[in-house]
Structure 1
Amino acid sequence: MPAHASRRGVLAGAVAAFLALAVPAFATDEIDFGPAQAGRVRATKVDAAAKLIPTDYKFVTPGKFTVAAIPNRLPFSVLATDNKTPIGSEPDIAQLVADVLGLDLVLVPIAWADWPLGLASGKFDAVIHNVTVTEERKEKFDFSTYRKDLLGFYVSQTSKIESISNPEDITGLKIIVGAGTNQEQILLRWIEANKAKALAPTELQYYDDEVVLDLAVQSGRADAYFGPNAVSAFKATRQNNLKLVGTFSGGWPVTAEIAVATRKGSGLADAVTAALNAQIANGNYARLLARWNLTAEAIQASQTNPPGLPRK
C-alpha cells in the first residue's frame, strides 16, 4: 500500500472516531419530525378560558392564534421535514393554548432577536419560545408562565463528578458555558466568591460549535457543561454519554420561569394563563412535557406577570 494511501486510511479512521464521539446517534426513530405531528397533545375548547379574551382584542388574523416560533434546537423548536413547519415543545404549548381558546394555530418562524419588536408591533399575537420573565421585559410585555427556567450541569457518564450543588463544587474544574448568558454570570459570581475564600480557580471554556462542545466534555478537555437544562436533558435521553449532576434556577439565587409573552395591556395574558391552568389540571400539560423530557421543569400553576428576574 502506498504511504499516502496509508495516511489517508489513518486520517479517515481518525475522522470516523471523532464523529462517533462528537455526534452520538440520536434515536431519531423516536422523534416525529413530520409536520403533521400526530403524537402532539391536543385539547378541546374551554369556554371559561376563551371568555377571558377581551371583546375588543384584535387577533392578527381573526379566528387564529398567530405565534412566533424560533426553530433552532430541540426540544424547543426545529423545522419539520417540510423545512417550514416549526415542531417541538414550544409549538406544542402554542397548539394547546390555541385549542383551549378555540382558535386555529399559525406558527411564524423567526429569529430570536426579532421577537420583541415583532410582538410589540403586532406581527403576532404571542411569542412562545423559552422566554424568561424579567422585570425589564414586563415593562413592555405581559406573561403567562408555563415552565421553570432551569440550568443544568452535565458531565460525561464516565466522570467521577457526582454532584454540583454549591459554588465550592466548581473549584478546580474546567466548565463550558455560553458567553453573555445568565449561566455565565452565575459562574463568574461563584468564581469571585471562591477566590475570596482562596479556593482553587475555575476555568471557563467557550464553544460556538455544539459538536465540538460535546467532544470536549466526552474527551475530558472540559469537566462539565453548564447551560439550559431542557436542551441537555433532551439530548441525554437520546445519548448514553451524559449525566446530570446539578440544577439551578436560571436566575440564581432568584427563581425564574419561562412564559408565553403577549403585548402589554392587550388583555390576552389572562386568557392564556387560564388556558394553561386548565391543561395543568386535566393532565395534558404533564403529558406534553413528558413528550420532550421536560417533566423536571413542570410548574404547579400558571401565573400572569409574576415577579421576574430583577434588572442587572
Structure 2
Amino acid sequence: MINTLPRLAVVGIGRLSYPMVVRLRRAGHAVTVNNRTRERALAVAAATGAEVADSPRAAAETADIVIVSLADDAAVREVYHGPDGLLAGIRPRTTILETSTIAPHTITALVPHVLERGAVLLDTPVSGSVELAARGELTLLVGGPKEALDNVRPVVDVLATRVLRFEESGQGSIMKLVINSLLLSLGAAVAESLVLAERAGIDRADAYDAFTQSAAAAPFVQYNRENFVRPHEATMHMTLALVAKDLALVDELASSVGAPMAQLRTTRGLVQQAITAGLGDQDGSVLAEYLRRNATA
C-alpha cells in the first residue's frame, strides 16, 4: 500500500525531538533525520526505522514538513544557510515547524528567505517535559498563518494536545520565552525553598511532597520531584547551560521592550554562580545542590 501521509524531516535530535520521531514513526510517517552529530541520528534511525540524511539540505529535499529542533540561534542560522543548508533543500509548499527556543528576531529574519522558495515557516516552540513529549502531550506555541497551521494539524496532533496560536511570526517564540522566564525562576525558587526546609530540619522528600500537595503544585513542580529529591539520580530535562541561554534570551527580549524583570536578574545571577562552580552540564535542578554546598553553618 502506498503511504499517502506527508513525508517528514526532523533536523536536530535532542531530548524532545527524539520522542517526537518515535511518535511520528509509530503514526506511520516516513521520517528522515539529520543531526550535526551523525551518531545521534544513526541511533534514532536504528531505534525507529527512520532514514538518515547527511545534511539539512538532503533531509529537506523530499520532505513535505520539516521539524527543526536545535539548541540556540547560532545553530539555527548555520542549519538554514549555506550550500548544504535547509533553505537550499526545501521545495515549494513545504512547511517548516521551527521548534527551537530562539530569539523572535531570528525567526522573523528567516521567514522571507523561506517565502522566497514558495514554502512557509511557522515558529512552533514547544512547552513540556521529555515525558510529555513521549506521550504526545506537548503544548505548541504557534506564530504564523492559521491556514498553514491547519494544513499540518494532523502531524501536530501526534505531538501535542494543546496548540496555542498567535497571529504573527515570532510571537510563538516570544510566548515561549515568557513561559520559560516564569518556569526557570520557579525552578530557582523551588531549589531555594527546598534547601530552606532541609536546613530547618524537615526531610527533603517530605518537604517536596508538601510542595506537590499545596498551592505550589504546578506541573513543573510535579514532574521535577525525583530530580530535586534524588539529585544524584536526576533525569536530564534541561542542562543548566541551556537554562542560562534561555534566560539570556528572555533578558534580551525584556530589554528590547522595556519590561522590568527584577526576578530575572536574581535568577540569572544564581544560575551563573552555579555554572562558574562547574555545574553547567547538569540538570537545572542542580541549583538546590549548589545552594546546599554554599549554605552557612
TM-score, length-scaled by structure 2: 0.31
Task: Considering fraction of residues, name the structure with more strand.
Answer: 1
Task: Considering fraction of residues, name the structure with more helix.
Answer: 2
TM-score, length-scaled by structure 1: 0.29
